[in-house]
Amino acid sequence: MEGKAEIGIIGGSGFYSLLESPRQLEGASRYGKPSAPLALGKLEGRSVAFLPRHGYKHTIPPHKVPYRANIEAMANAGVKRLIATSAVGSLSADYKPGELVFFDQFVSMTHGRADTFFDEDTVVHVSSADPYCPELRRVAIKVAKRMGIGFHDKGTVVVINGPRFSSRAESRFFSAQGFELINMTQYPEVVLARERQICYLGIGMVTDYDAGLVGKKGIKPVSIAEVNRIFGENIGKVKELIGKLLPEIPEKRNCTCGSALEGAVATQK
């Protein structure tokens, strides 16, 4: 499967229509089957592999997404850059529904997820100090500015296990820590990509205010109906952003993501 695509996209099934004459690639590995067969095709002259994180009919809940199989399938297809879109809730009045965010940090509050490729005979401590590719973020910020859309150039996303939404107490706690956003899928996806030395750009679409905002009356807790409404209204903007982003990505990587494992192996040879 090597060398089929240079850039990967993980997101909702609505992105499938972006690709020109897509063909399917099964992508099974020692970690099992990915969420769905990869769709391979061309977009803005670049070879792209697309994968719907929750399956093509959104049947896989966040805590059961086969994250390792998904990232392994992308790596086996030759992907070196990964663009991942996701819906996020806002924990701050500064991050409004309909706006986009290019994550720079995450906090994991998940449990029970297989979150490393190195859990057998090799111990690896990959650095997660800066988990999101700075080069891809710079390019995305430049394109977003040119488009004139509402966005934030950084944001810390706290990742919960799901599939339930937060209680009011949990939401207040996360806000008090200074986290701006909340999501169910960024971890371990971003770290697994790092273990495979793949550049990762996380694009969050703010869809709601989670369980409401402290001191802000009249803001109702999140509902899936509201998430779907805001997501549907703004998916075109995200598609346009990605279409304009791809030609701007340099052929050669000018970041350290490709050497993330250097000095990270603790096992003695």
DSSP assignment string, the chain: -TTS-SEEEEE-GGGGGGSEEEEEE---BTTB--SSPEEEEEETTEEEEEEETTTTTT-S-GGG--HHHHHHHHHHTT--EEEEEEEEEESSTTS-TT-EEE--EEEEE--S----S--SS--B----SS-S-HHHHHHHHHHHHHHT--EES--EEEEE--SSPPPHHHHHHHHHTT--EEESSHHHHHHHHHHTT-EEEEEEEEEE-TT--TT-TT-PPP-HHHHHHHHHHHHHHHHHHHHHHGGGS-SS--SSGGGTTTTTB-S--
pLDDT digits (tens, 9 = 90+) for 81-115: 999 999 999 999 999 999 999 999 999 999 999 99
pTM over 0.75: yes
Task: Please state, in angstroms and rounded to a whole number, the distance separating the CA atoms of residues 84 and 8.
Answer: 8
**pLDDT value for 52:** 95
pLDDT above 70 for 116 = yes
**pLDDT value for 1:** 43
Q: How many CA atoms lie within 13 A of 220 on its CB side?
A: 6
Given a contact cutoff of 8 angstroms between Cβ atoms, the answer to whether 217 and 182 are in contact is no
157, β-bridge pairs = 106, 181
Is 208 tagged catalytic? yes
Given a contact cutoff of 8 angstroms between Cβ atoms, the answer to whether 74 and 82 are in contact is yes
Which of 8-17, 41-50, 136-145 reaches the highest mean pLDDT? Answer: 136-145
Is 121 tagged catalytic? no
**pLDDT value for 215:** 61
Task: Please state, in angstroms and rounded to a whole number, the distance separating the CA atoms of residues 10 and 72.
Answer: 13
**pLDDT value for 13:** 55
Question: Cα–Cα–Cα angle for 158, 162, 167, nearest 5°?
Answer: 75
pLDDT above 50 for 7 = yes
- CATH homologous superfamily of 7-259 equals Nucleoside phosphorylase domain (3.40.50.1580)
Q: Which one has a higher pLDDT value, 133 or 212?
A: 133
Count of Cβ atoms closer than 10 Å to residue 263 Cβ: 10
Q: Which of 115, 121, 130, 210 is catalytic?
A: 210
